[in-house]
Amino acid sequence: MAFEEEQKIFNSFVKEKGLKQSKQRDDILLTFLKTEKHLTADELHSLVKKKNSSTGIATVYRTLKLLCECGLSSELRFGDRAVRYEHFYGHEHHDHLVCVKCGNFIEAVDPEIEKLQERLAKKVNFSLQGHKLLMYGVCSKCKK
């Protein structure tokens, strides 16, 4: 099975924080890793319940918070209300082009944009740690 690396990261993190391992967190982590989508907590909860129907939504929220803390996931918010969680570890950083018609999105990155952000930050004496760039427009399918 894959994901050993991610599981190791998570388990080390949990141990280092003085927390304990649990079956539920393992299930949630694996389901998250297997699903290459930008899921909401609620959507992930539905998937996890297929394996273990007794898993509570609160535990899903708690675990997602841990996943973000240890660098396996990252929060993302398109226009809508709910936070979405995307894979972070082992994934190239990317920005998002969100279609205002169909709601789908494309992931893309321009290394020059990244560099220029650093330059902009330096200009205002800011230590840059990260960024979120959301571009809105109409995708190729919806243009037709």
Partner DNA sequence: GTTGAATTTGATAATCATTATCATAATTAA
Partner DNA sequence: TTAATTATGATAATGATTATCAAATTCAAC
Interacting residues toward DNA by CB under 7 A: 14-15, 18-25, 40-42, 52, 54-59, 61-63, 65, 81-83
How far apart CA 118 and CA 87 sit, in angstroms, is: 23
Which of 73, 106, 70 lies closest to 88 in space, CA to CA? 73
Shortest Å, Cβ 1 to DNA? 19
| Residue 46 contacts which entry, DNA, a second copy, none (Cβ below 5-8 A, type-dependent) | none
According to DSSP, the residues that pair with 36 across neighbouring strands are none
Find which of DNA, a second copy, none residue 19 binds, CB within 5 to 8 Å per kind.
DNA
By CB under 8 A, the residues from 75 to 134 that bind a second copy are 77, 95, 97, 99-100, 106, 108, 110, 112-113, 116-117, 119-121, 123-134
Minimum gap (Å) between residue 66 Cβ and a second copy: 18
C-alpha triplet 135, 138, 139: angle, nearest 5°: 95
Query: Contact residues for a second copy (CB under 8 A)?
Result: 77, 95, 97, 99-100, 106, 108, 110, 112-113, 116-117, 119-121, 123-140, 143
